[in-house]
Amino acid sequence: MVIAALIAALNEERSIAAVVSGAARHAPLVIVVDDGSTDRTADRAREAGATVLRHDRNHGKGSAIRTGLEFVLAQECSHVLFMDGDLQHDPGEIPLLIARASQGAGDFVIGEREFRKGSMPASRYYSNVVGSAILSRFIGAPVMDSQSGFRLIRASLLRQLRLTGTRYEIETEMLIKLVRLGATLDRVTVRRLTYADTRSKIHPFRDTSRTCFLAVRYRYLSWS
């Protein structure tokens, strides 16, 4: 396995260096797409050893991922590791995803978070649990954490996709389109998140509703 890590980031100067350093232990190529940050995210990522691509203004997570994929998939790699730049994904758990993929258990391995009412904001809990239950029907496979950005995907399958999402719905778009291509899906449980020091950029109900509506288009109206 030759892994390239792709990290979309917006104003993550406090955490991006730790994410890059952690990913670099398992991926010889680490790409950070700075989606119009107004802080020193790009500088911190470069200092940590990442190749940085930068949008001059904020276009949305989906656009950042698409920019990164265009670059990454032109490189020699067998898998792409996706992570967020805010340390909500523990780089120390990357080997869990790699081990599952290397066993041939999945072309697409998702790091699924545990959702517990008392350990996370109510809005995040309900948007994730309800949204994942709805989206599992459109995806065609049971997924407990459809919006997890912590995932490892075979590059040859990603090269067959035409992605259109510009915001958080791109996570679901990849799921639906890859399953329709015949990708085998597997899941590993990753540690429960700590929310005390993180402020989500997701608007739970607005973005979940948008994702569910767009899932209909991805599932029934768009093949590529």
Encode pLDDT of 184-214 as tens digits.
Answer: 989 899 975 554 445 555 555 555 555 555 6
Q: State which residues form the domain around 158.
A: 3-220
Q: Does residue 159 register a pLDDT over 70?
A: yes
* Residues whose CB is less than 8 angstroms from the CB of residue 60 and which lie 6 or more positions away in sequence, other chains included: 35, 166, 167, 168
pLDDT of residue 196: 46
Q: Count how many domains the chain has.
A: 1
Of residues 97 and 171, more confidence is placed in 97
CATH classification at residue 89: 3.90.550.10
Average confidence (pLDDT) over 73-101? 95
Q: Does residue 112 register a pLDDT over 90?
A: no
Q: Supply the mean pLDDT for the chain.
A: 83
Average confidence (pLDDT) over 69-96? 95
The distance from CA 175 to its chain's CA centroid, rounded to whole angstroms, is: 11
Report pTM: 0.80
CB 110 within 8 A of CB 143: yes
Q: How many Å apart are CA 213 and CA 2, to the nearest integer? A: 35
Angle CA 85–88–94, to nearest 5: 85
